[in-house]
Structure 1
Amino acid sequence: IAAMLQMKRPTVQSWKQRDGWDSVAPISRVEMSLEARLTQLIIKPQKTGGDFKEIDLLGRQIERLARVNRYSQTGNEADLNPNVANRNKGGRRQPKKNFFSDEAIEKLEQIFFEQSFEYQLHWYRAGLEHRIRDILKSRQIGATFYFSREALLRALKTGHNQIFLSASKTQAYVFREYIIAFAR
């Protein structure tokens, strides 16, 4: 700095000690540098397109540093990111409730019994007697289809959640789709 200003080194050293240059926080140094560069660009008589771009960039950086300073004082994350403050603003939509009338439940039950095979009705009767059913089954016998419908009916009648263990995520989604299709 002394060489650039063509001053004696002890003079610059005394400025450094007097003004506490070493005690300035790094973020404050960045702010001062941004401010100095922005001032240079603003007072420049003939500005180029690049100058205007740099002015815009420096302005955004100063705004960002102001947010960081505000955050360091309050500790509020919304000071860093304005979107966080807006996230919980306006009213939220109430989730649409799934409502089934008694008639609709009876209609689903009628469809369930009409479309079930005899061996599936055996599973149904076993479910009335036993809390847990272990079924050794072959492939492609409609177990997912049957149990998805039974689960919906049981949930509608009792109001209790239904829990199932599935072999894969894909199987769970198939199960879910069967329930949705049956409900419609």
Structure 2
Amino acid sequence: MDCRSSAAWLGTELLLRLVLKLPDRRSEAGRETWVRPPDRWENLFELLQARQFLESSIAGFAATSVTKADILSQRETLELEKRSIQAGEDDYRADRQLHLQIAEATQNSVLVNQIDTLWHLRECSPMWDRLHSRIFDIGYRSQWLDDHAAVLESLRRRDAEGARQAMWQHLENVRLTLLELSDVEDPEFDGFLYSKSVSG
């Protein structure tokens, strides 16, 4: 799926508006319209905020429906991520796969599609590319690996609230790391607009 996949983008925008209670977009004629899927996505911290709301809820839901096969697959992916970090590889495929596997543990393909689309939006973000190039400290990714392990442990225990909180904290740690690495003078920087997160 590329950055302009209309069907996937439409589903994601609908879901984001429900979750974040955003106003509908209207045409001049008063008819409801939806924005065209972007070929680039500048608002990285806006995207992180949406991910934090959605993925924490999904993790909590996954804890109620996760299977033994799901847990085994997630552990294998976590091990792949660990090896990649230890080898110093600039590779986020296992990271992305783990987030998708957590969504898959809900047994709901619509939610899986939303997470897949959100990750594609990140890949369309020039700001992510700029910040990604500044992540030289392996400690950041090691912290995120520990965060992933905490989410999986809550899933294993079928602890819905624990899984929700662990995913929320993980994405908060990502947000704080990227905020630290950001150039606040960049005209596209939106971190201050989305800098306060409440786990509610």
TM-score range (shorter-chain normalised) is under 0.3
TM-score (normalizing by structure 2) = 0.24
Larger radius of gyration: 1
Higher RCO by CA contacts (8 Å cutoff, separation 6 or greater): 2
